[in-house]
Structure 1
């Protein structure tokens, strides 16, 4: 199962290492991780996505919750959460028709076009990881030169 974990942690050096070390020491993989300072500069929010069965995810949540620098750990329900990832694709263009087709695909996914060249185009896409993978599959035939992804940012909906 895919899991979204969110941690509220003290904003101080070494906390990212401690969290990633905890995952590594338990042979648990991090699919994506994003970290940013909250509205209170003393705290940061980490959003980690990972795969594991229910027992594994429950165990990692318990272990993260025991860490001294951790104020809150939550396993978010993806159906009650707003989560997005930013990605930038550099796509190869063979001709003007390719440019129009990639542009149509980008618009269909709410993407923004940047840096259009004769032989390439950059598309910025903010979406769920599934939507990003779907877009990636659609543009693969054109040729993907490069991809950059940020990792998931997530917040639980109000009342959830």
Structure 2
């Protein structure tokens, strides 16, 4: 099994990066849709229905599969022998950021359901601020893996 993982590593890593990019694109865009939804759409209007459809499809068709593939490929790479130095701090920093990214993804899913139900209690400003979370986590993940500063 570990020999197979080692030989498939370039393909697993490629798929991991592709899925991660798709996941990040969704995490950047969905909170922006929430801002438009809260600030510009009245409950039950065509605009609200269009935004609800866009939010649902982005989450269900793009973001959820991308997150799952990112996790599966990441776990396969963790299982590849000799790939990670577990005595260093960077794998743990990356893992914490990925877990936080997954929490943010789930938070977005909850917000989508609330907006679809007509709950506009979270203001657009809060969604704008939350939209910065994936950027900060992206920085931690990329620096941890590429520069390995700790």
TM-score normalized by the length of structure 1: 0.24
Higher relative CO (CA 8 A, sep ≥ 6), structure 1 or 2? Answer: 2
